[in-house]
Structure 1
Amino acid sequence: MTDHTPGSGGQPEEPTPQTEGSPAGTGDTPPAGVPQQQPQQPQAQQSDPAQSHATPQPEGQQPYGAQQTEPARPYSPQQYAAQQEGQPSYGPSENQQSYAAQGATPHATQQFPQHAPWPSAGGHTAVQPGPHQAHGRRGGLVAGVAALALVCGLVGGGVGGFVGYQFGGDRSPGVTSLDQPRPARSVNNAPQGSVQQVAQKVLPSVVQLQMVTSRGAGEGSGIVLSQDGYILTNNHVVSGDGSGGRLTAQFHDGRTAQVRVIGTDPKSDLAVVKADNISGLTPAELGRSDDLPVGAPVVAIGSPFGLSGTVTSGIISAKDRPVRAGGESGSEDTVLNALQTDAAINPGNSGGPLVDVDGNVVGINSAIYSPGNGQGQAGSVGLGFAIPIDQAKRIATELKDHGSATQSTLGVLIGAGDQPGALVRNVVPGGPAEQAGIRNGDLITKVDDRPIQDPDSLVAAVRSHAPGDRVKITIGGDRTVDATLAGQG
């Protein structure tokens, strides 16, 4: 009772260790930021006096003084004698400091008291301190280095702690999403025309039908037509493959009821059934399909694979699609003039509604296309087909009232020809075609403005009308006739 077609890098260089206060050995490069010392040459002193200090030099080396822009002053006799004895020279006196002011004559000096303020660092002043001051300043520098090392150690410790925190994770408890309070109850008013709004409106009117026969069981869907239990569905859902069976309806509110068949029409694949001893159901609202445009949004509701109340959405992909459904291949009795949709339709959706954005039923879901070898149950590939509600409403009314329904007919037997169209093989005597002047061998190419490509196209076009409708038939490429369609059971 399923409605499917068979288918289917390098190591870092370690710095050479050096003894504090001694010049680097030959060929060694001092660490970055330490002035390089060369024998027998004066070193450049930094412009900032706070960064300068005199270091006693080993025997045989000259003292390291400040490099000056003016010519260097000659040693005094005392300094020369001291140099000859291998003693370092520190300047004129322990209590005085000798400054060579920038811009002075080569041999000019200025005397400053021991506690006189230091000249500005920006003056590029050359400095040659006395021995005690050199020792004090060296000690100050060592203390400053120690302080700097302490600060760096603190900073390093802080960085290490931060990295450890980042990689080790916070062990202290913190607020997570699980600790957040539950929000207030959401009042979700579905926007008009949304799938949610359509589902809320239509779901109470959709039924799951279950057929149990001697050959097995199957499911389908149906649409509530009345409060007292009339239901519209597909003929192939309730036919039981001709073996009869037990039919049960399960409604949206959870109630179930036995169902009996009121009338069936295999040619249109429609049926009306009635659930007994039940009331208070919600009838569906029926719309119209004649002015439904291609691309219009639609919603399909049903029980695919037994999953009742399933909602899918899509659009109208095409209209007036000739489709065989629910019958044997090659039989004109099952040709439908179908709406095509990409809303997911699967076995079990058969008989359920296809609705527009207003929640009005515009089609009865009946068939799907499934390519393959026909092994197992088919599934949706985005090609679903529904009987237009305009046709289904007329048939359902007749089935409810009379237990049977009539179909429109032109009164011809047709087949395929060498060209696109429906080839008339035989004209039924006294029928609409004969009365309109259609003859054997004519090739029907249009019904009104609808092109006819093959025999199925003609059957679908005729059955889209009601008996008594007047249509224009085009023969070949230029001949047209008017015909009034008849009805037959």
Structure 2
Amino acid sequence: MGPMNDDTTPQAPQGGGYQPVTSPYEVQEPEPVQEKRRVGLGTALALMLIGSVISGSIVGMVVANTAGGSGEIINSLQQPSAPAPDAPDNGVEQVAAAVLPTVVSIQVANRAGAGEGSGSIISSDGYVLTNHHVAAGGGNAFMQVTLNDGRTLPADYVASDAATDIAVVKIRDVSGLPVINFGNSGQLQVGQEVVAIGSPLGLSSTVTYGIVSALNRPVRASDGGGESSLIDAIQTDAAINPGNSGGPLVDMNGNLVGMNSVIASMSSGGEAGSIGLGFAIPSNFAKRVADQLIATGEATHPMLGVQVAARSDVDGALIASVEPDSPAAQAGLNAGDVVTRVDDRIIDHSDALVAAIRSQDFGQTVALEVRQQDTGQSRQVEVTLTSE
């Protein structure tokens, strides 16, 4: 595998839905223009109903056998329906009610095929945050969005960043739309409750619930054709599936803390589905990139100024070369150095270094722990990253 440059801009896969992951860092996606094979919902629902009937019969027998000896017949069909319980403060019901109006389904079609995904409305005049692999090709294709109230409206591709799988589209000729609120993804904690909303398998306005399973997961998504993206992801066990791409991951106050982008799968083919390993782009990062895309049509990222070798036999990120006059060169980094830590974050491979640096602020000074590969000696190095 060739060297990876921390300031290169690989292209992310195109098309709607998720890219199934064959490992935490290696992602494979089906052909973007082919229609995804859907779950057989009729069969699945039939099986579920059969299971419910059997379960109900067993429960009924248990109740009959424990009803007592009074001989009184109690028929629930003749009883009034129980009132709905009050929704708890900051419960999933309240989160869903607040966030659903700000989430859209996105459909993109061109000569080669069609794709779909989800998005979050980030301005009342129609800007929508979504994934690059959902919106890519939208500049040369028909695009429309479906709002939560059922309206289907035309939309236009604005810009995207393939390297980080972030895109912005705009709904035409609208005003007064509800807008999602951004949360601070930097304050997320492992174990924190989150809610995912989107249109998995075309089922719009789907709400699922889970927790933050891990933070700072470097996940590389690739279609196998040379196009890839690298995200410094939030891992969640909230069920997300093909079609959830671009939809929001929100906290229990309804604030957007991540954008769902990738799922892991036990399958290497196109039959990906949730196994409780989903990955979302942190909202702080997505917001920064979206601001750039709207303002300038492109995105830039903080850079260290090195090329790193994709080596699985090195515990850390091996520097293959250092660009002259770069922040790395000014800090005294050399080819052959191995970066093992950025501030308090452990770096165990090259993608982890690229993701960690991209996630920093422009012009920020970070502390690197660097080990010389030949001597094994370690040193601390401070590096001020490039400005915007």
State how 1:76-475 maps to structure 2 within 5 Å.
Answer: 176-181=75-80, 186=83, 189-240=86-137, 244-325=140-221, 328=224, 334-374=229-269, 376-417=270-311, 418-475=313-370
Distance 1:370 1:479 in 2: 39
Distance 2:240 2:95 in 1: 17
* Contact 1:213–1:243 under 8 Å retained in 2: no
* Contact 2:139–2:156 under 8 Å retained in 1: no
| Paired position in structure 2 for 1:150 | none
State how 1:21-32 maps to structure 2 within 5 Å.
Answer: none
Larger Rg over CA atoms:
1
Distance 1:208 1:425 in 2: 43
1:326 Cα deviation after fit: 5.5
Distance 1:208 1:372 in 2: 26
State TM-score, norm by structure 2: 0.77
Q: Does 1:4 align with 2:19?
A: yes
1:268 Cα deviation after fit: 1.2
Q: Secondary structure at the match of 1:349?
A: coil
1:396 Cα deviation after fit: 0.8
- Which 5+ residue runs of structure 2 have no aligned equivalent? 1-14, 24-72, 372-376
Q: Secondary structure at the match of 1:199?
A: helix
Q: Secondary structure at the match of 2:246?
A: coil
Distance 1:231 1:401 in 2: 14
Q: Which amino acid aligns with 2:130?
A: T
* Contact 1:414–1:423 under 8 Å retained in 2: yes
Cα 1:329–1:429 change in 2 (3 A) is farther
1:244 Cα deviation after fit: 3.1
Q: Secondary structure at the match of 1:444?
A: strand
Distance 1:309 1:397 in 2: 26
* Contact 2:21–2:221 under 8 Å retained in 1: no
The CA deviation string for residues 53-103 of structure 1, in whole angstroms up to 9 with x for no partner, is: xxxxxxxxxxxxxxxxxxxxxxxxxxxxxxxxxxxxxxxxxxxxxxxxxxx
Distance 2:219 2:90 in 1: 29
The CA deviation string for residues 310-335 of structure 1, in whole angstroms up to 9 with x for no partner, is: 0001000000000012555887x611
1:271 Cα deviation after fit: 0.6
Q: Which amino acid aligns with 2:323?
A: V
CA root-mean-square deviation: 2.1
1:278 Cα deviation after fit: 1.7
* Contact 2:20–2:268 under 8 Å retained in 1: no
Cα 1:460–1:327 change in 2 (3 A) is farther
Cα 1:182–1:385 change in 2 (3 A) is closer
Distance 1:180 1:189 in 2: 21
1:481 Cα deviation after fit: 1.0
Cα 1:189–1:326 change in 2 (3 A) is farther
* Contact 2:139–2:157 under 8 Å retained in 1: no
- Which 5+ residue runs of structure 1 have no aligned equivalent? 9-173
Q: Secondary structure at the match of 1:409?
A: coil
Q: Does 1:486 align with 2:381?
A: no
The CA deviation string for residues 220-246 of structure 1, in whole angstroms up to 9 with x for no partner, is: 000001111110000000113x89321
* Contact 1:368–1:384 under 8 Å retained in 2: yes
Distance 1:466 1:357 in 2: 27
The CA deviation string for residues 284-337 of structure 1, in whole angstroms up to 9 with x for no partner, is: 011011121100000000000000000001000000000012555887x61111
Q: Secondary structure at the match of 1:475?
A: strand
The CA deviation string for residues 396-438 of structure 1, in whole angstroms up to 9 with x for no partner, is: 1111122111112110011145430111111111111101100
Distance 2:110 2:185 in 1: 35
* Contact 1:257–1:277 under 8 Å retained in 2: no
Kindly tell me the number of residue pairs found equivalent between the two proteins.
Answer: 318
Distance 1:452 1:182 in 2: 57
1:215 Cα deviation after fit: 2.1
1:178 Cα deviation after fit: 3.0
Cα 1:7–1:485 change in 2 (3 A) is closer
1:248 Cα deviation after fit: 0.5
Q: Which amino acid aligns with 1:319?
A: L
* Contact 1:236–1:326 under 8 Å retained in 2: no
Distance 1:438 1:178 in 2: 77
Q: Secondary structure at the match of 1:467?
A: coil
* Bigger strand share: 2
Distance 1:197 1:390 in 2: 24
Distance 1:310 1:443 in 2: 44
| Paired position in structure 2 for 1:142 | none
* Contact 1:414–1:425 under 8 Å retained in 2: yes
State TM-score, norm by structure 1: 0.62
Distance 2:215 2:287 in 1: 17
State how 1:25-104 maps to structure 2 within 5 Å.
Answer: none
* Contact 1:3–1:325 under 8 Å retained in 2: no
Q: Which amino acid aligns with 2:327?
A: P
Q: Which amino acid aligns with 1:311?
A: V
| Paired position in structure 2 for 1:71 | none
* Contact 1:322–1:336 under 8 Å retained in 2: yes
Distance 2:384 2:224 in 1: 29
Distance 1:298 1:264 in 2: 26
